[in-house]
Amino acid sequence: MVSCSIGGIYTDYNKLNKQEKNNVVALTGNISDIQDYKKLYKTTAEQVKQYINEKKNVVVYNYVPFCRAENCISPNMFINEAKLKGYSALVITNTYLDAFIAVGNDFPLLIIDNSKYNTKLRGKYTDLFYKDLLGVSLKSINYASYYLFKDGKYIKSYKNSKDIQ
């Protein structure tokens, strides 16, 4: 007998084990105050904007843990690239599926708080979150995964992190 499971259409929260579910928490303070990197923090676009306004020059990565495409890189690689270019970095995943692979490193891992958008459809709440954050639709920027902010303002999106200047 063969079994098949499809993931990535919804939040995939139900695919987490009990310990992982216990480590998913709503972010109540500021992103820059996060100290416990073993948790996955549900965040809103407003909280991300506050962080961007505080740090000024930031690159946000729309991280999909199970993505194996050429432009999908590990959060550690992304953060190192951003720091070398003088930017603060934020990693925001849009799915619980495999998200805990990146938890426990030396940075906070954020996940879109889909409850604000009243949907569990990953594509829908991801589009709405980034429209709130960027002021443009993901379709209009050809579904790029990297978003550059300078002086707290959205500047440009990139498909490849190596192109960020």
What digits encode the pLDDT tens for the residues 84-105? 999 999 999 999 999 998 887 8
Model pLDDT, residue 4: 45
The share of the chain scoring above pLDDT 70, in percent, equals 95
Tokens 């996955």 label which residue?
40
User: Which amino acid is present at 19?
Assistant: Q
User: Is 54 contained in some domain?
Assistant: yes
Question: What digits encode the pLDDT tens for the residues 62-75?
Answer: 999 988 899 999 99
User: Is 8 contained in some domain?
Assistant: no
Q: Which of 65, 63, 66 is nearest to 147 (CA)?
A: 63
User: Is 62 contained in some domain?
Assistant: yes
- Note the pTM of the prediction, 2 decimals: 0.93
Region of poorest pLDDT, from 17-21, 65-69, 129-133: 65-69
Distance CA 161, CA 79 (A): 10
Residue 83 in tokens: 């720091």
Confidence of residue 108 (pLDDT cuts 50, 70, 90): very high
Model pLDDT, residue 13: 94
The share of the chain scoring above pLDDT 90, in percent, equals 83
Model pLDDT, residue 103: 85
Which whole-number Å values give the CA distances from 113 to 27, 29, 80, 149, 150, in the listed order?
Answer: 9, 14, 26, 21, 24
User: Is 9 contained in some domain?
Assistant: no
The SS3 call for residue 96 is coil
What is the arithmetic mean of pLDDT over 32-36? 96
Classify burial at 57, counting beta carbons within 10 Å of its beta carbon; exposed 0-12, middle 13-18, buried 19 or more. middle
Model pLDDT, residue 6: 58
Model pLDDT, residue 9: 82
Q: Which domain holds residue 104?
A: 15-160
User: Is 165 contained in some domain?
Assistant: no
Average pLDDT, the chain: 93
User: Is 5 contained in some domain?
Assistant: no
Provide the CATH number for the domain around residue 101: 3.40.30
Alpha helices in the chain (DSSP H): 18-22, 45-55, 75-84, 122-134
Q: Give the orientation angle of helix 45-55 with respect to helix 122-134, to 10 degrees.
A: 40
Model pLDDT, residue 2: 54
Question: Which neighbouring-strand residues pair with 156?
Answer: 148
User: Is 150 contained in some domain?
Assistant: yes
User: Is 126 contained in some domain?
Assistant: yes
Total domains present in the chain: 1
Distance CA 94, CA 88 (A): 20
